[in-house]
Chain A
């Protein structure tokens, strides 16, 4: 069973005034089949955690470890992490002009699976996955994320999640900017992947809204670069009522 273990993770970014520590000792274990919601106010470091796990070059790991089934994730390049089974659904997916969605998906699936998917079954697989997410077939010929609406970008991220079947899925504010219908479609996509029981999910969100559709097993409150409190789904209810005030007061952070 796949397990992602984050131990005492410290991460900095370079700023004009020198390195700025954003993550200050994150401990978290996510097992296959589990869903962890990470909730926290803006600037608490949630997205930094997501991008650090995926290996974005902007972030410098200054301490701690991240292991996937005992393998050192931090030693891996970005593409190696993805092939090892780490998937990041991005808050702001990047436009790649001139690269069609169909070409991108196939290149990616080929890399992740280690061989090119059989064309006939692949076309069917993509078509069905797109239908389930209410993505128009014409998307396949459009350039990756170019001119996509916010909702279209997020559905395209979840499409990749469904096709690439990672061991660990990190969803970075996938709910932000979505209307209720789009939120439902996207959540259903995430739930289909969760129901396979083969993915551990790290759901990063600012709002409790998405938790109506995706039920977490564990809820963590993120504040000042670390997990401030952990609990079950009831913790989300408390946050819904009381907000993050309790966690941000006292002590300034960057």
Chain B
């Protein structure tokens, strides 16, 4: 891939990167985290957390005008031992993994009627994934889901989003000590859908949380995957893959909050963009607080811009308040299709379109290989193939 081109703040040119030189994650927010939507002013678009998002395409999720009168078909299939409950908002299991950090997330929290709590008991090792399928049937819907994973339990969770509609829903993952959880969230919406969601993970002592976020569809998708640690020795891996087509806005805003000693985090997001006004935003915030000695963290974002007219804003931020750490780093690079790679492959007889497909497949394959779930990997590769068939031509 092309080498990193790091361009200073303010010069967000087409297919390039802005790397913020300074930041304080807390001070960059326009309001402190809160469950109450009234605590957040209606954004006007110049706030740090909203400056990349086209507010007019949020369908009123940001200003209180979106009434939750739409419909979404939800199905949960879970192996034996897993309980699925619908609970009211005063249930004590809600809200433990983190508060909403922006007005849209707070609106979702303030607006949902019933929350789903899906619990995996202590020590249970699930033989099958928990599957949640959400199919939008139009209109605005709010929701809230809690995955409560007992100590030393092992689970794979697959959440699928398809169909049309305006969806704002937060998801919590609370992992007990030593639990091992892999979550795959697929945003495969119709091209007109709007989806905002904050994913909060609270990772217990010595627990392992792996998140795989895959965004293909939607008119506007804005996700905030966030990790907090409940005890030392915990590990979080956050992987993401997006394929942003003409006119789509796909935004992933991550935060890993290291406030506990001896925890690890690894973030890797990769995206390909093509077509006019394809816009991908990646914000990667990692905070290493003073008590978090022994932290080991790395975050990476790579973008492959396939055509003119697409735009990437990639902003990694690393704040370090202690020097007693194992390692901390980040990398962000946005490359155009590399003509030298293309020449090399074509000089071996491979036609141009096939060579391009080979390179894009290769670009994602490195990431897909890290997921570690063969059936999910195969499905992703098939989905990437379909995107390429439809487009790289």
Give residues in A with beta carbon < 8 Å to B: 54-57, 77-79, 81-83, 87-88, 90, 93-99, 103-104, 107-108, 111-112, 143-144, 160, 164
A-side contacts of B366, CB under 8 Å: 97-98
B350 touches A107 (CB 8 A): yes
B residues near A, CB below 8 A?
1, 338-341, 343-352, 354-355, 358-359, 361-366
Say yes or no: A98 contacts B345, CB within 8 Å: no
Q: A108-B348, A111-B350, A111-B354 are in contact. Are A57 and B364 (CB under 8 A)?
A: no
Query: Which of A79, A96, A164 touches B351 (beta carbons < 8 Å)?
Result: A79
- Interchain CA distance A56-B359 in the complex, whole Å: 18
Whether A97 contacts B343 by the Cβ 8 Å rule is: no
Give the docked Cα–Cα distance between A83 and B340 (Å): 19
The reply to whether A111 and B340 form a contact with Cβ atoms under 8 Å apart is no
A82 near B363 with CB under 8 A, answer no
Q: Smallest Cβ distance from B393 to chain A, in angstroms?
A: 16
CA distance A75 to B27 in the complex (A): 61
Asked if B359 and A96 sit within 8 Å, CB to CB, the answer is yes
Q: How far apart are the CA atoms of A90 and B347 in the complex, in Å?
A: 10
Contact A79 B346 (CB under 8 A): yes
Which 7 A-B pairs rank lowest in CB-CB distance, beginning with the nearest?
Answer: A98-B362, A111-B349, A82-B349, A108-B348, A78-B346, A94-B344, A99-B362
Given A79-B349, A82-B349, does the pair A94, B343 have CB atoms closer than 8 Å?
Answer: yes
Q: How far is the CB of B151 from chain A (nearest CB, A)?
A: 38
Q: Is the beta-carbon distance between A164 and B348 smaller than 8 angstroms? A: yes
B294 to chain A, nearest CB (A): 30
A112 to B354 CA separation, bound complex (whole angstroms): 13
Give Cα A107–Cα B355 distance, bound, in whole angstroms.
9
Q: Are A79 and B350 in contact (CB under 8 A)?
A: yes
Q: Are A111 and B343 in contact (CB under 8 A)?
A: no
Closest to A88 in B: B347
Measured CB to CB, the closest approach of chain A to B365, in angstroms, equals 5
B354 and A94 within 8 A (CB): no
Given contacts A56-B343, A90-B344, A107-B358, contact A98 B363 (CB under 8 A): yes
- A81 CA / B352 CA spacing, docked (Å): 13
Min CB–CB distance A25 → chain B (angstroms): 25
Nearest-Cβ distance from residue B352 to partner chain A, whole angstroms: 7
Q: How far is the CA of A108 from the CA of B347 in the complex (A)?
A: 9
Q: Which residue of A82, A87, A97 is within 8 Å of B346 (Cβ)?
A: A82
Are B349 and A164 in contact, with the CB atoms below 8 A? yes
A111 to B357, CA, bound (A): 14
Give the complex CA separation of A74 and B370 in angstroms. Answer: 44
- Check A98–B364 contact: CB distance below 8 A: yes
Contact A78 B363 (CB under 8 A): no
B354 touches A97 (CB 8 A): no
Q: Known interface pairs A98-B364, A98-B366. Does A77 touch B346 (Cβ–Cβ under 8 Å)?
A: yes
Q: In the assembly, what is the distance between CA of A111 and CA of B345, in Å?
A: 11
